Structure 1
Amino acid sequence: MKKEYWIILIVYIAMQFSGIIGMPLLVRGLKIDRVMALPIWLIISFTLALIIILFILRKDSHARGPKGTGQGSSIGHSIIWAVSGFFLALFSQYAAAIIEQLLGIHMGSENTQQILNIIDIFPLAMIVTSIIGPILEEIVFRKIIFGSLYRRFNFIISALISSVIFALAHMEPEHIILYSAMGLTFAFLYVKTNRIIVPIFAHVMMNTLVVLVQTVYRDDIERLQRDLESIQNFIGGFL
């Protein structure tokens, strides 16, 4: 792995733990309410990390594809796969959710719920969850981690390892199937088009849709989840 990539990984990890310093700075130093300080620091840390990472990658812009070389797909072909990839990601997420249901895994996501709570407090935080976050994740987990593995192993091994790491990074091991399915989809889009912008677009669109739907129809979704869990428990009583 190139030195620049290691630096990017360090920046990304530092961003994840930056709240340890950033939160007290906002709360005690700038006297910002703790509830508001969280989304504000989220925006600051993610934005700074993205700027730093893009600056580091400025010399790497000529390298296309997970193997670092090769011509990327045409603009038209990339657009088609970006849009198709959005629906493919939704389908893989839906299929993974069904599998988790069959395994008796609770449908709800604490990570998603926390994100929605942050957006309720500070709607501007949606920029992070819908745009900046997905861009950073695709650069880190697909371009760097998957790309580095793909230069040594085949697609299946590289995609599986990077997708599991991607899943575990979301701190919800019970939903490892769900996140891994998404990771596999984005890795496929990256290899298929040789352009990291394609999985970035699909990821951004998917996160934006999920956040909007969860925000607008949250009560209905929670009611549906309770009904589905009741049906699952009822059926389980006969098995």
Structure 2
Amino acid sequence: MKIKYWWIILVYIAMQFSGFIGIPALKELGVPRSQIIGMWGTISFVAALIIILFMLAPEMRNRHRNSERVSRGAAVGWAIGGIFMAYASQIIASLIELNVLGIQPGSENTKQLVDIAKHVPYFMVVTAIVGPILEEIIFRKIIFGSLNKRFNFIISALISSLIFAAVHNDFKHLLIYTAMGFTFAFLYVRTKRLLVPIMAHVAMNTLVLIVQIFLADKIQEMEKHIETAQSIIGGLL
């Protein structure tokens, strides 16, 4: 792995642990307790993305020299198809977890992020866009990309996906993170364009936010109506 990539990983790790300094600092500045995590999360993620993109700038300028990359038109097609592939892999993994492993749906990590976004609306930009971009750079371009030069696709995707799950601290849904990791890694290998898995990742996170924040009440209301209708029908029968 390139020395520069190790420095990028170090920046990402520093961002993950920066709250130990940033959160107390915001408390001292009088930021409301309910907004502290979201505010510092936004500051740290955006700062890390800017630093990492600056470090990758030379590679980004030279990326057009890669003759293996698919055309822009093909990339758009793969990006759109990749969104459906990512959702399909997540649904299949969720069904396996529920029906085979007995793991109930619902991620504690997702719940925490949604709760933060409800208190700090601009944090949604981090969850939906900034976070996925950073994760695809770290887990697909750097970790998976470096491993894939030495090992086959399955081993490289598996290791990078396990690290992906570990960072989210959600081993309960390890299968889902692994399925998503394999999907994003496949999109990256197939197109040689990091933007393709980024778009799929952004779309997934955005949909989760829309459902959990803007449609949650309506979904609960619909569920109550369905339960009421079922009880009435059951009483008639």
Q: TM-score, normalised by structure 2?
A: 0.89
Match of 1:234 in 2: none
CA contact (8 A) 1:64 1:71 kept: no
Paired residue type of 1:179 = Y
Paired residue type of 1:14 = A
| Greater C-alpha Rg | 2
Q: CA deviation at 1:222?
A: 6.4
Match of 2:18 in 1: 18
Between the aligned partners of 1:217 and 1:26, the Cα distance in structure 2 is 31
More off after superposition, 142-151 vs 156-165: 156-165
Between the aligned partners of 2:222 and 2:102, the Cα distance in structure 1 is 16
Residues 56-94 of structure 1 show CA distances to partners (whole Å, capped at 9, x for unaligned) of 0011125659xx954311000000000100010000000
Identity among equivalent positions (%) equals: 54
Q: Considering only aligned residues, what root-mean-square deviation do their CA atoms show, in Å? A: 2.0
SS in 2 for 1:165: helix
Between the aligned partners of 2:115 and 2:21, the Cα distance in structure 1 is 22
SS in 2 for 1:152: coil
Match of 1:209 in 2: 207
Residues 207-228 of structure 1 show CA distances to partners (whole Å, capped at 9, x for unaligned) of 10111012123246668999xx
**How many residues of Structure 1 are paired with residues of Structure 2 in the alignment?**
223
SS in 1 for 2:102: coil
Paired residue type of 2:20 = I
Spell out structure 1 runs of 4+ moving beyond 6 A. 222-226
SS in 1 for 2:75: helix
Unaligned runs of 5+ residues in structure 1 are: 227-239
Between the aligned partners of 1:190 and 1:105, the Cα distance in structure 2 is 30
Q: TM-score, normalised by structure 1?
A: 0.88
1:75 to 72, 76, 87: 72
Residues 29-71 of structure 1 show CA distances to partners (whole Å, capped at 9, x for unaligned) of x111221111110110000000000000011125659xx9543
Q: 1:195 to 1:80 in 2, by over 3 A?
A: same
Between the aligned partners of 2:210 and 2:47, the Cα distance in structure 1 is 25
Between the aligned partners of 2:169 and 2:25, the Cα distance in structure 1 is 25
Q: CA deviation at 1:162?
A: 0.8
Match of 2:172 in 1: 174
Paired residue type of 1:162 = S
Residues 136-168 of structure 1 show CA distances to partners (whole Å, capped at 9, x for unaligned) of 000000000000000101111111111111112
Unaligned runs of 5+ residues in structure 2 are: 225-237
